[in-house]
Amino acid sequence: MVSGMSSAPAGVAGALRRANRWGVLEILLWILAVAAWFFLPEQHLILAEIVNFAILALSLDLILGYAGIVSLGQSAMYGVGAYAAGLFSAHVTGEPLSGLLVGGLAGAAVAFLTGFLLLRGADLTRLMVTLGVAAVFMEIANQADWLTGGADGLQGVETAPLFGLFEFDIFGRTAYAYSLGVLFVLIVVARIVLASPFGYSLRAIRDNPLRASAVGIPVNPRLIAIYTLGGAYAGIAGALFTQTQMFVSLDALSFQKSADGLMILTIGGTGYLYGGVVGALVYKLIQDVLSNLTPQYWQFWIGLLLVAFVLIGRERPRALVRAVSIRLARLFAGKAASRRVAEEKP
Amino acid sequence: MTALLETRHLNRMFGALQATTDVSFRLERGARHALIGPNGAGKTTFINLLTGVLSPTSGEILLDGKAITGMKREARVQRGLVRTFQINQLFGGLTVIESLALVVAERRGEGWNPFRSIGRARGIDTEIADLLRGFGLESVAGETCSDLPYGKQRLLEIALAIALKPRVLLLDEPAAGVPEADRQEVLSRLAALPSDVAILLIEHDMDLVFTFANRISVLVSGGLFAEGTVDEIAHDPRVKDVYLGGGQHG
């Protein structure tokens, strides 16, 4: 009886910890990403671009995958972050980390100030509201050409060496390493936030807002909070884009950005943080392969694939990743166990 | 002495339809009180008014003598007014443990904490283990809520409410839809609920009402029709009329 009483709590804490532990696949992915920096030097530019898309999609995963907020307006935060970082670089300093912070704060501010628009209405309303907000920001940037350079894009953006040491070169060496580092930090932060009571309350809202409010969760303030965090992530993605390209244009605020983000996340799957990474990788690879095969029609194939992915189910990728990691974890645990047994036997 | 939960002249209109008519109702500390009435009598509307899903057209709701009439849903929950639902309202994508953990964390006021892992809070594991044991959910603790058999879902529905340590618990047809095989378990878990919690049971099932409650209120056409002890209500000819003549099946 005594042992039963003490083992039950351990089981509970263990189960909660297991759910948030680093998976084998996850670690493998990071090893491969770092290895790519050493072994694929001629691909650094495209890899940096993939990471940028991954962060944009990650920002969307935070709000869609974890809090159930559908959005077609992530470009508003991405673009404002991009312009904020660009202006900061042109007028204050080209130091990249502070520029990233400025971009993140700008994205967060946009999300925080427009988040209340999401609180009324269902998915369709949210899609239209986010779409509308992004369109408004796009037009503001277009009209305010004294500030943004309008259709010509913002001139005079320069990125100083990272930590004062690493120049941003034209081959994307620094850009890829920098982007990957930023993605890593953002994933670590997201993991911490999502494993917290706050993070779980978001999933409760996503799964059942009625019950969430009935267990005392203040639904609307929580939604605004995560929308703001998602905005910060999108702003950071935008800033990163500006810094690595050393240029900002209206493209950063375009509907295409929002659509790309959502498309990538859909391909990679929502709700396990790596949907953006997987989706961006697949998206870019497909784009690369298809645009070599049929330069004019690759969008057609992307569209077809997207339809297929959605029909197979948004849950599929996450389920697949979970199944494979469980299998791998067992494999490793099994090996470790047999090694222990072998060590104990002289 | 003030009642724990009280309504005064509560009214609710839906357009021209009066769904709640001048309901003045008292729920005492530690009560086992049942609210019965034919279909469409306004039981669910009454619960929605109490919990803040709907706001009354006129009248007052008091918890512990203090007006909570215009208060937000979550603020009422934080003050100890908790409900369960007639149709299960679970967090489909989370496991049983995760669901209970987030509810306990919320009750402890940690819901805004974005930094500390949910399993790290002191004593949370013991508390969840107790809830799992208390509701017979240990064997399915790691399973996703949407994958549970119906009987277990029904128990979790109630466990989520108890995890909030309510002072007033509104149970909306807790045995509804439970298969006969699991029914006894649900009933015995209900009987074992902490005795200091005041419970208002909304129920169709007369057997459950008579075994569980010691006081009964009858709601008819939105208004309180009769109230008394189980004996009084069981032998009240007017109540019989309402149920037999009112087209109540069964």
Evaluate if residue B35 carries a pLDDT over 90: yes
Where is mean pLDDT largest: A121-130, A228-237, B71-80, B104-113?
Answer: A228-237
Residue B248 — very low, low, confident or very high, per pLDDT cuts 50/70/90? very low
Report how far residue A112's alpha carbon sits from residue B202's, in angstroms, rounded to the nearest whole number.
41
CB atoms near residue B172 (< 10 Å) = 21
Burial of A254 (0-12, 13-18, 19+ CB in 10 A): middle
Contact predicate B137/B186, CB 8 Å: no
CB atoms near residue B183 (< 10 Å) = 15
Given 3.40.640.10, 3.40.50.12780, 3.40.50.300, 3.30.70.20, which CATH number is that of B5-90+164-245?
3.40.50.300
pLDDT 10s digits, A23-57: 888 888 899 988 888 888 888 888 999 999 999 99
Quote the pLDDT of residue A334.
65
Interstrand relation of B198-202 and B32-36 (parallel, antiparallel or unpaired): parallel
Work out the minimum CA distance from A82 to partner chain B, whole angstroms. Answer: 27
Work out the minimum CA distance from A106 to partner chain B, whole angstroms. Answer: 21
| Least confident segment among A11-25, A264-278, B123-137 | A11-25
Residue contacts between A and B (CB atoms, under 8 Å): 142
Among chain B residues, CA nearest to A226:
B114
Measuring CA to CA, which residue among B231, B177, B238 is closest to residue B204?
B177
The answer to whether the CB atoms of A8 and B77 lie below 8 A apart is: no
Report how far residue A173's alpha carbon sits from residue A42's, in angstroms, rounded to the nearest whole number.
9
**pTM given for the model:** 0.88
B94 vs A contacts (CB less than 8 Å): 200, 203-204, 207
The answer to whether the CB atoms of B74 and A218 lie below 8 A apart is: yes
Report how far residue A225's alpha carbon sits from residue B6's, in angstroms, rounded to the nearest whole number.
35
Q: Which residues contact B8 (CB under 8 A, 6 or more apart)?
A: B24, B59, B60, B61, B62
Report how far residue B138's alpha carbon sits from residue B97's, in angstroms, rounded to the nearest whole number.
9
* Interval A300-319 mean pLDDT: 75
Q: Which residues contact A221 (CB under 8 A, 6 or more apart)?
A: none
Helix (H, G, I), strand (E, B) or coil at B26: strand
Quote the pLDDT of residue A240.
95
pLDDT 10s digits, A75-109: 999 999 999 999 998 888 878 899 999 999 999 99
Report how far residue A85's alpha carbon sits from residue A162's, in angstroms, rounded to the nearest whole number.
15
Among chain A residues, CA nearest to B93:
A207
Contact predicate A168/A159, CB 8 Å: yes
Quote the pLDDT of residue A201.
96
Quote the pLDDT of residue B250.
39
Among chain B residues, CA nearest to A271:
B93
* Interval B203-217 mean pLDDT: 86
Among chain B residues, CA nearest to A220:
B74
Residue B247 — very low, low, confident or very high, per pLDDT cuts 50/70/90? very low
B 2-31: CB under 8 A from A: none
Domain positions in chain A: 41-313
Quote the pLDDT of residue A92.
84
Among chain B residues, CA nearest to A195:
B117
Quote the pLDDT of residue A137.
92
Report how far residue B218's alpha carbon sits from residue A122's, in angstroms, rounded to the nearest whole number.
37
The answer to whether the CB atoms of B129 and A203 lie below 8 A apart is: no
* Interval A214-234 mean pLDDT: 95
pLDDT 10s digits, A179-223: 999 999 999 999 999 999 999 999 999 999 999 999 999 999 999
The answer to whether the CB atoms of B94 and A200 lie below 8 A apart is: yes
Report how far residue A335's alpha carbon sits from residue B7's, in angstroms, rounded to the nearest whole number.
65
pLDDT 10s digits, B181-196: 888 888 888 888 888 8
Work out the minimum CA distance from A189 to partner chain B, whole angstroms. Answer: 9
Does the CB of B229 have a partner CB in chain A at under 8 Å? no
Residue A4 — very low, low, confident or very high, per pLDDT cuts 50/70/90? very low
Residue B242 — very low, low, confident or very high, per pLDDT cuts 50/70/90? confident
CATH number of A41-313: 1.10.3470
Quote the pLDDT of residue A314.
59
Q: Is B30 left (phi over 0), alpha (psi -120 to 50) or beta?
A: left
Contact predicate B170/B84, CB 8 Å: yes
Domain positions in chain B: 5-90+164-245
Query: CA torsion, points B195, B198, B204, B209, in degrees to nearest 10?
Result: 40
The answer to whether the CB atoms of B126 and A217 lie below 8 A apart is: no
B74 vs A contacts (CB less than 8 Å): 213, 216-219
Does the CB of A20 have a partner CB in chain B at under 8 Å? yes
* Interval A316-345 mean pLDDT: 66
- Name the token pair of A334: 């099994």
Residue B141 Cα to chain centre, angstroms: 23
Residue A317 — very low, low, confident or very high, per pLDDT cuts 50/70/90? low
% chain A with pLDDT above 90: 40
B118 vs A contacts (CB less than 8 Å): 16, 195-197, 199-200
Does the CB of B93 have a partner CB in chain A at under 8 Å? yes
pLDDT 10s digits, B128-182: 999 999 898 989 988 899 999 988 999 999 999 999 999 999 999 888 888 888 8
Q: B18 versus A316: which is more confidently predicted?
A: B18
A 179-208: CB under 8 A from B: 192-193, 195-201, 203-204, 206-208
Helix (H, G, I), strand (E, B) or coil at B108: coil
Among chain A residues, CA nearest to B163:
A215
